[in-house]
A and B are shown apart, each in its own frame.
Chain A
């Protein structure tokens, strides 16, 4: 697939900066994947030597300890070498070393050819696409794993894999979907859309933005590499509970460290969003004029920076227990097993909102512009995001109702959990009311948005069952949980990601996707999704625990149906991929504003100019003033016009 847009505004970009060296020298020593490759190797050697030297110096026998070498050499020094090699640190090192900095020539900004997508690029639009393509690669891998273990589960008993592989597949599936798909796919969409929506030329810290992206494939490769570790992939679930995780084979370390890289990526991106949203709004863009997608990412970023350090901590503690024989979570040494779960869920409950709020933002954009009506109750929509943010930090122990934690914690956690349904309900009802008396365009993004709306209600309602402690005691750790998380994360988050991709596809690529295929994709997905996950409520309540390769044969028939439906669900994804690839390569050229939306990204060409706005927009009103005569969100040019609108 080529992405060279000879017929699009990309051709107007300034030419590349040519370094004053020969091309062979550049091939090996210029920033890029080649230098990334060999510097990763150098990193590994240096890291290993450092470990050996230090162990020798302190006289710690044996000098060679595989797990330590692996962590320091393989999972810290190698990635740093790689990042240095591709040039993620070039500018900073230049600066730190006191050499005269090169004047910024923007050679690392924007995409002139497809090659520019494979290097450190500081353009938020390119980074957005890099994120999305990367995350969809991991979505595909994670999805194939799901097909694989669904095949195993089609019948009771073991057929295809052994139990370590099964646990590895399930753990890897969840880990990839969460850390390498949903969270970063939202970051990708936001990367593309948020600066444009704010009227900003880029993110606040473009180099940091590039670095954040490149941390991601490192995490993904690290997770996947655990399959080749002796003993197999990490198999303690995506939750990695101690002490099970502490007794796992080597593969577990890949999880402990992979989470660090994915987490670092999230945190850096979130900081970047926060600074961008606070400081780079166009003139006139007050907080109460920001599109809800921006609000959603603002809230999400706050969640990320506050919560993510906790999962990082929890994984470090497990690793310390494994390698350095500390006893954070080992009772024999005086450790406290439930401590792990408290720390883990203090991140991972907020993380479910990290995986949902950006989707709320996308859906607000889509429903409002496709219904041709202002979003219903804009301010309450923004405030309910904030409500979820605050409440989200006070409910973590609802994942521990049967974990044996202090009894007195249960009722307060139940109350806060149930209260979260209120801001969530406000959002659902407001989207529904936005539809009312609208002029509804039922195209693919809208179908996915409405699919989200209905499916998310089901997921939210099963959440309420689980919020009630006595019901949770019966339903926890069963397939009912699996049903709940897929209704909120697939019917919820993934549907919104699809909605967002179809919605911004013309803006990102300058071309239009195929509407018929889009609709096919939606209906196939919608039907097979329900056929796959709805019956899981039933088998769960009836007595099938989660994370098992074998089960009571009474559930055999339903599991067979579920597995077949899941293969259809997998196949529906092919329609999407086909549509994306063919449309990107030669779909019809898209208009600047095919949806007649008011937000700023639609006021510039498709794809947007290299620095987004050739002139600074002046924001003069709310983002969703559909149907208000003469209303505008922004004026793009002469200050004169702005004055007229003001007057």
Chain B
């Protein structure tokens, strides 16, 4: 039995290492370009570590059991009549409960941080219409563009509006997403941390042109942004 436990643990470690390699060798998440996404990525790793442990435990027991206790087809004996084990059952109710509640608490904290608008965020209205995005900068006299331009390190609040059907505003590198819904107003906060060009993608099926409903987001320095605004208002 002692040897068995050692083997089981060894299998578990091997599986765990393999899965961990899969998790770290590939870049599963896009480069974060916002404070909000940084926080989300922390929870992502929390959930990933938890998942690696749970998967490895289950897979190890399955592999080990089949490997050790497989019998030929014509075997006609029965296994030991083990009906349960209260201690174990309590353990595997309690441990996952603690884990998911921990995840829930972390998530709730991040959610509220990501939802807290600081002092005077940049107000941008994102208008979804089949099949294009329009952005309105209400702080600067309501001009409208098809390209999203944001100053780096300044919080922006997107207020969503939909003209016809539901669309969903999503910039994968910002990690933030929110539906634009006809008849109600929705909003989301983004604090860009990196300059560069990113894609704005519509994430909610909105009809024939849904796949092509994309726009460009450009995060620029403060000075470049002011320049751009001046140009637009001219």
A interface list, Cβ under 8 A from B: 163-164, 167, 235-237, 241, 243-244, 247, 331, 335-338, 371-374, 376-380, 402-404, 407, 410-411, 414-415, 418-419, 421-422, 425-426, 428-430, 432-433, 435-443, 450, 453-454, 457-458, 461, 464-465, 467-471, 473-474, 476-478, 537-538, 541-543, 545-552, 596, 625-628, 631
Contact A421 B76 (CB under 8 A): no
A420: min CB distance to chain B, Å: 9
Q: How far, in angstroms, from A426 to B106 measured CA to CA in the complex?
A: 23
Which of A167, A235, A407 is close to B115, meaning CB atoms less than 8 Å apart?
A407
Q: How far, in angstroms, from A415 to B30 measured CA to CA in the complex?
A: 27
Contact A538 B26 (CB under 8 A): yes
Contact B210 A548 (CB under 8 A): yes
Contact B65 A461 (CB under 8 A): no
Cβ–Cβ < 8 Å partners of A163 in chain B: 208-211
Which of A430, A441, A453 is close to B71, meaning CB atoms less than 8 Å apart?
A441
In chain B, positions 157-202 with a C-beta closer than 8 Å to chain A are: 160, 164-166, 168, 170, 172-173, 175-184, 186, 199, 201-202
Contact A473 B81 (CB under 8 A): no
The 9 closest A-B pairs by CB, nearest first: A331-B183, A543-B172, A404-B186, A548-B211, A627-B78, A627-B81, A435-B65, A477-B203, A418-B100
Verify if B234 is at the interface (C-beta below 8 Å from A): no
Binds A, one of B37-45, B137-145, B147-155: B37-45
Cβ–Cβ < 8 Å partners of B184 in chain A: 331, 337-338, 404
Contacts A437-B69, A440-B69 given: A474-B176 contact, CB under 8 Å?
yes
Contact A543 B183 (CB under 8 A): no
B interface list, Cβ under 8 A from A: 26, 28-30, 37, 39-40, 43-44, 47, 50-51, 54-55, 58-59, 61-62, 65-66, 69-71, 73, 75-85, 88-89, 92-93, 96-97, 100-101, 103-104, 106-108, 110-111, 114-115, 160, 164-166, 168, 170, 172-173, 175-184, 186, 199, 201-212
Task: Name the CB-closest residue of A to B72.
Answer: A441
Q: List 7 A-B contacts (CB under 8 A).
A: A429-B88, A437-B82, A441-B73, A471-B107, A543-B30, A626-B79, A631-B81
Contacts A476-B203, A541-B28 given: A435-B58 contact, CB under 8 Å?
no
Candidate in B76, B106, B172, B206 with the most chain A CB atoms within 10 angstroms: B172
Q: Please classify the interface of chain B as helix (H, G, I), strand (E, B), loop, or mixed, using the class held by over half of its residues.
A: mixed
Contact A241 B30 (CB under 8 A): no
Which of A335, A414, A422 is close to B107, meaning CB atoms less than 8 Å apart?
A414
Q: How far, in angstroms, from A464 to B96 measured CA to CA in the complex?
A: 11
Task: Name the CB-closest residue of B to A447.
Answer: B66
Q: How far, in angstroms, from A167 to B212 measured CA to CA in the complex?
A: 13
Supplied contacts A163-B208, A469-B111, A477-B168, 10 more A-B pairs, CB within 8 Å: A167-B210, A236-B205, A241-B166, A331-B184, A374-B82, A414-B108, A435-B66, A440-B69, A471-B43, A625-B81
A486: min CB distance to chain B, Å: 17
Contact A331 B182 (CB under 8 A): yes
B155: min CB distance to chain A, Å: 16
Contact A244 B206 (CB under 8 A): yes
A41: min CB distance to chain B, Å: 35
Q: How far, in angstroms, from A425 to B28 measured CA to CA in the complex?
A: 26
Contact A468 B103 (CB under 8 A): yes
Contact A237 B205 (CB under 8 A): yes
B71: min CB distance to chain A, Å: 5
B181: min CB distance to chain A, Å: 5
Cβ–Cβ < 8 Å partners of B40 in chain A: 470-471, 473-474
Contact A450 B66 (CB under 8 A): yes
Task: Name the CB-closest residue of B to A446.
Answer: B66
Contact A378 B30 (CB under 8 A): no
Contact A411 B111 (CB under 8 A): yes
Q: How far, in angstroms, from A541 to B176 measured CA to CA in the complex?
A: 12
Q: How far, in angstroms, from A409 to B168 measured CA to CA in the complex?
A: 19
Cβ–Cβ < 8 Å partners of A626 in chain B: 78-79, 81
Cβ–Cβ < 8 Å partners of B206 in chain A: 244
Cβ–Cβ < 8 Å partners of B50 in chain A: 461, 464
A44: min CB distance to chain B, Å: 31
Q: How far, in angstroms, from A541 to B37 measured CA to CA in the complex?
A: 12
Contact A458 B79 (CB under 8 A): no
Task: Name the CB-closest residue of B to A376.
Answer: B84
Cβ–Cβ < 8 Å partners of B54 in chain A: 425, 457, 461
Contacts A331-B183, A374-B81, A474-B37 given: A468-B93 contact, CB under 8 Å?
no
Cβ–Cβ < 8 Å partners of A465 in chain B: 44, 47, 51
Q: How far, in angstroms, from A470 to B189 measured CA to CA in the complex?
A: 12
Which of B29, B61, B164 is close to A435, meaning CB atoms less than 8 Å apart?
B61
Which of B88, B166, B173, B203 is close to A433, meaning CB atoms less than 8 Å apart?
B88
Q: How far, in angstroms, from A371 to B78 measured CA to CA in the complex?
A: 8
Q: How far, in angstroms, from A551 to B214 measured CA to CA in the complex?
A: 10
Contacts A244-B166, A426-B89 given: A457-B203 contact, CB under 8 Å?
no
Cβ–Cβ < 8 Å partners of A440 in chain B: 65-66, 69-71
Contacts A470-B111, A541-B29 given: A439-B203 contact, CB under 8 Å?
no
Contact B199 A552 (CB under 8 A): yes
Cβ–Cβ < 8 Å partners of B89 in chain A: 377, 380, 426, 430
Contacts A244-B166, A372-B78, A435-B69 given: A450-B62 contact, CB under 8 Å?
yes
Contact A453 B100 (CB under 8 A): no
Contact A473 B210 (CB under 8 A): no
Contact B177 A476 (CB under 8 A): yes
B65: min CB distance to chain A, Å: 4
Q: How far, in angstroms, from A415 to B107 measured CA to CA in the complex?
A: 10
Cβ–Cβ < 8 Å partners of B26 in chain A: 538
Which of B30, B75, B110, B178 is close to A439, meaning CB atoms less than 8 Å apart?
B75
B63: min CB distance to chain A, Å: 9
Contact B47 A543 (CB under 8 A): no
Which of B55, B78, B177, B183 is close to A457, meaning CB atoms less than 8 Å apart?
B55
A215: min CB distance to chain B, Å: 29
Candidate in A464, A537, A628 with the most chain B CB atoms within 10 angstroms: A464
A40: min CB distance to chain B, Å: 34
Cβ–Cβ < 8 Å partners of A422 in chain B: 93, 96-97, 100
Contacts A243-B166, A247-B165, A454-B59 given: A549-B211 contact, CB under 8 Å?
yes
Cβ–Cβ < 8 Å partners of B93 in chain A: 422, 425-426
Q: How far, in angstroms, from A454 to B63 measured CA to CA in the complex?
A: 10
Contact A627 B80 (CB under 8 A): yes
Cβ–Cβ < 8 Å partners of B182 in chain A: 243, 331, 337
Task: Name the CB-closest residue of B to A248.
Answer: B207
Cβ–Cβ < 8 Å partners of A458 in chain B: 55
Q: How far, in angstroms, from A377 to B66 measured CA to CA in the complex?
A: 20
A350: min CB distance to chain B, Å: 20
Which of B164, B175, B211 is close to A243, meaning CB atoms less than 8 Å apart?
B164
Q: How far, in angstroms, from A331 to B185 measured CA to CA in the complex?
A: 12
Task: Name the CB-closest residue of A to B175.
Answer: A474
Q: How far, in angstroms, from A429 to B97 measured CA to CA in the complex?
A: 14
Q: How far, in angstroms, from A441 to B30 measured CA to CA in the complex?
A: 44
B148: min CB distance to chain A, Å: 16
Contacts A372-B77, A550-B212 given: A542-B172 contact, CB under 8 Å?
yes
Cβ–Cβ < 8 Å partners of B88 in chain A: 429, 433
